[in-house]
Amino acid sequence: MRSLLGTLWGGKWILLGVFALVVSAAATYTYTRVPQYETSTLLLVDLGQGQSAVPSLTGGEG
């Protein structure tokens, strides 16, 4: 275990460089992409009648 840690510590600049390269590449890719958004809506209209327009959602009868 000690020899493994010694090897990793000896190559710490290589590991740090690779880490920095991957993080900067991911950040560059993320911030240069054109944002794509998607949305949807649901509109329920009260018809002003005694009956519900959508009885299954309001618990009323059709």
Higher-confidence residue of 20 and 56: namely 20
44 Cβ neighbours under 8 A, 6+ residues apart: 53, 54, 57
Residue 8 tokens read as 């990793």
- Percent of the chain whose pLDDT exceeds 90: 35
What are the boundaries of each domain within the chain? 1-34
pTM above 0.85, yes or no: no
pLDDT band at 41 (very low <50, low <70, confident <90, very high): very high
Higher-confidence residue of 29 and 6: namely 29
The arithmetic mean of pLDDT across residues 13-19, rounded, is: 90
Question: How far apart (Å, rounded) are the C-alpha atoms in residues 48 and 44?
Answer: 12
45 Cβ neighbours under 8 A, 6+ residues apart: 53
Q: What amino acid occupies position 6?
A: G
What distance, in Å, lies between the first and last C-alpha atoms of the chain? 73
